Amino acid sequence: MNRAARKLKTDGLAPVIAALLTEHAGLDLPVRLRAWDGSEAGPPGTPVVVMRSAQALRRILWRPGELGLARAYISGDLDVEGDLTEGLRLVLNATRPQPATTRPVLTRTTSALARVPAVQAVQNAVAWTPAALAAARAALQLKVLGPPWSPPPRPASEIRVTGRLHSRGRDQAVIAGHYDVPPAFYQLILDPNMAYSCAYYPDGQPEVTLAGAQRAKLEMICRKLALEPGGKLLDMGCGWGSLTVHAARDHHSQVTAVTLSGEQGGYVRERVRGLGLGDRAEVRIQDYRDARGGPYDAIASVEMGEHVGAANYPRFCAELYRLVRPGGRLLIQQMSRGSRAPGGGPFIESYIAADMTMRPVGETVRLIEQAGFEVIGVEAMREHYVRTIRAWLDNFEKNLPAIEDILSEEQIRVWRLYLAGGALAFEEGRMGVDQILAVRPDR
């Protein structure tokens, strides 16, 4: 009986997994771990990661890193007791690869392990990392690797899209996968204006609510665009209609709202009609490439440009340039990433926004200028998104009983992970959000 087997017999599963992580990945457990046999290991007083079955270990082995952990959590094979955001912070900081590491050194232990037939199939599917090696060792010791030809099935809520990248059909399927959820769900987590984008919390006003911060953001956009009564505004990617309603009702603008989501388009039409704004706001369900009308006095695109794609972004900017009049203004509010940050990551791309593209804000400014615009202002709002998403997460947990009547258990786990992980990504500076104000020169 080898050392790991003896430890398994005397101490249980969790200490064996912890020891293998230390031996083969150089990692000390950053959180408390509870295995499916009830054994525990790791520091007390931290969030508890609960492996409910051997399937959790298999998921992490087949997709080491963020995606494997996400699949294990979403499927319910892995859970977190305590503060989910803090648990994510500790785990990601402990397992995040070092920038200088390109491929792990093939050790004698790795070579011996790779000769095991079941492991060979996994090695063909994933790149060896120290953490993956530790997971493989644990899986072999615990006899949970399973048939080498059958990785665990993906959770049903994982996005599956086909077709050419950023074709009209594929883009519509991607948007439908995230936004075509009953509006009643978004009403439970957003503010009364239904703004599904970063709010603005004025300095020196810590008591500002989410609703107040979203109103401040909408007013700031209208002020930057210099909207006047009767002026024509194109709301490109109108979401649930927060800016459309605010501009039409409070600034008496003539608004054309464009969205690719049928659920959003139908909701905004009903909202506009119910508020008696039908003569000031028109809602179109269409692709940005099919936008017509104008010339507009101003165009706003609030957190829609991330879905356009890198190859199509110059065309996106050219379309906006064509649609706005000379002297007219453009405001783009868009998520960004640092020059060395990954941006969304595997979980976001697999469960929230497939095909999403983020770039450093300077690159977006360059693309807007290349289309012919003059950029006259850039405002970073990263810290505001931390507060915004935390407010959404608070609403989510507060209204969970009602949400359970709308979403499946898997969808609830996806959204909880999305909100907790999103707040963390902005807090750590891996993602940012910026308002870019530009004008089409009147020559």
Q: What CATH number did the domain enclosing 329 receive?
A: 3.40.50.150
Q: Are residues 127 and 219 in the same domain?
A: no
Q: Are residues 333 and 189 in the same domain?
A: yes
Least confident of 70-74, 119-123, 335-339: 119-123
Q: What is the pLDDT of residues 15-30, one digit of tens each?
A: 988 887 887 667 889 9
Q: Is the pLDDT of residue 296 over 50?
A: yes
Q: Is the pLDDT of residue 342 over 80?
A: no
Flag whether 155 is in a domain.
Answer: no
Q: Which residue has the higher pLDDT, 150 or 165?
A: 165
Q: Is the pLDDT of residue 260 over 70?
A: yes
Q: What are phi and psi of 135, to 5 degrees?
A: -65, -40
Flag whether 162 is in a domain.
Answer: no
Flag whether 151 is in a domain.
Answer: no
* Residue 403 CB partners (closer than 8 Å, separation 6+): 185, 188, 189, 396, 412
Instruction: Give the chain's mean pLDDT.
Output: 87
Flag whether 315 is in a domain.
Answer: yes
Q: Is the pLDDT of residue 106 over 80?
A: no
Flag whether 148 is in a domain.
Answer: no
Question: Which residue among 142, 157, 188 closes a domain?
Answer: 142
Q: Are residues 119 and 177 in the same domain?
A: no
Question: Quick check: 219 and 246 in contact, CB under 8 A?
Answer: yes
Q: Are residues 178 and 321 in the same domain?
A: yes
Q: Is the pLDDT of residue 440 over 70?
A: yes
Range of the domain at 425: 168-439
pLDDT at 211: 98
Q: What total number of domains does the chain contain?
A: 2
Flag whether 154 is in a domain.
Answer: no
Average pLDDT over residues 115-130: 48
Q: What is the pLDDT of residues 157-197, one digit of tens each?
A: 998 888 888 888 888 888 777 767 889 999 999 999 999 99
Question: Quick check: 304 and 179 in contact, CB under 8 A?
Answer: no
pLDDT at 142: 61
Q: Are residues 187 and 129 in the same domain?
A: no
Q: Is the pLDDT of residue 143 over 70?
A: no
* Residue 48 CB partners (closer than 8 Å, separation 6+): 31, 32, 33, 34, 40, 80, 81, 82
Q: Are residues 256 and 380 in the same domain?
A: yes
Q: Are residues 204 and 138 in the same domain?
A: no
Question: Which residue among 142, 157, 176 closes a domain?
Answer: 142
Q: Are residues 213 and 111 in the same domain?
A: no
Q: Are residues 227 and 356 in the same domain?
A: yes
Q: What 3-state DSSP class applies to 253? A: coil
Q: What is the pLDDT of residues 396-437, one digit of tens each?
A: 999 999 999 999 999 999 999 999 999 999 999 989 999 999
Q: Are residues 122 and 205 in the same domain?
A: no
